[in-house]
A = this chain, B = another copy of it.
Amino acid sequence: MLTRSEEDHLKAVYALLLEGESALTKDIAQRLRTKASSVTDMLKKLADKGLLKHEPYYGVKLTAKGRGHALQLVRRHRLWETFLVQRLGFGWDEVHDVAEQLEHVADDKLTDRLDDYLGKPGFDPHGDPIPDRKGRIRERKTQRLSVCQAQDCVRIAAVSETTDGLLRLLDAKGLRIGTQLVVLEVHPFDGSMDVKPKNGAAFSLSKDVSHHLQVEPV
């Protein structure tokens, strides 16, 4: 059994590794809003349990066991998000905090039955893939909106950053999973781009925003 804090650290490592680069002590601390010294202690504990390898100044690598645990956390988180949106009528931008709590209820039978009940969904309301009971993830061929060119026609497939601020901004502009866009123009000066949703007026998106939108070709 992992404690809540151990689970939080494991998930942070997993998320940082996914976002590319390496997971350094300070990165983990920043993400969990704690101090590096606290993270040092926890990494030692997780390494002792065989969930990860830690090389100072280089980063953390998950073992197969650690990755498995992390994937189960992600699975539970995304299944609950799906439940909250699909069944309880929550907005996709208001489910993160509650799912953060529900994900720590560890009971395989519960998780599997919830999965069945929801129809074994492959993706959550943010468009992120939901690992199956064995931790397998369905792939999708998407790219960041920020790397698209003028004239590209795309559909929003996922949002890779789930802060309240970004989610609300997207909501205000009518951008959600499935929304289709045409890229009108890209401004190399600041990386901003003008886009036009299928059913709406054109507007501009900063690079900070377009960087976090995963899109698939239409």
Instruction: Report which A residues bind B (CB closer than 8 A).
Output: 84, 87-90, 97-98, 101-102, 105, 107, 109-110, 113-114, 117
Contacts and interface: CB of A to CB of B under 8 A. Distances in A.
Contacts of A84: 110
A105 B114 contact: no
Contacts of A89: 113
19 contacts: A84-B110, A87-B117, A88-B110, A88-B113, A88-B114, A88-B117, A89-B113, A90-B109, A90-B113, A97-B107, A98-B105, A98-B107, A98-B109, A98-B110, A101-B105, A101-B107, A102-B102, A102-B105, A105-B105
Nearest to A110: B98
* Interface of chain A, main secondary structure: helix
Nearest to A95: B110
Contacts of A97: 107
Nearest to A90: B113
A26 B98 CA distance: 35
Can you list the 3 inter-chain pairs with the closest CB atoms, starting with the nearest?
A88-B113, A101-B105, A98-B107
Contacts of A113: 88-90
Contacts of A117: 87-88
A67 to B, nearest CB: 24
A105 B100 CA distance: 10
Contacts of A110: 84, 88, 98
A117 B102 CA distance: 18
A105 B87 CA distance: 18
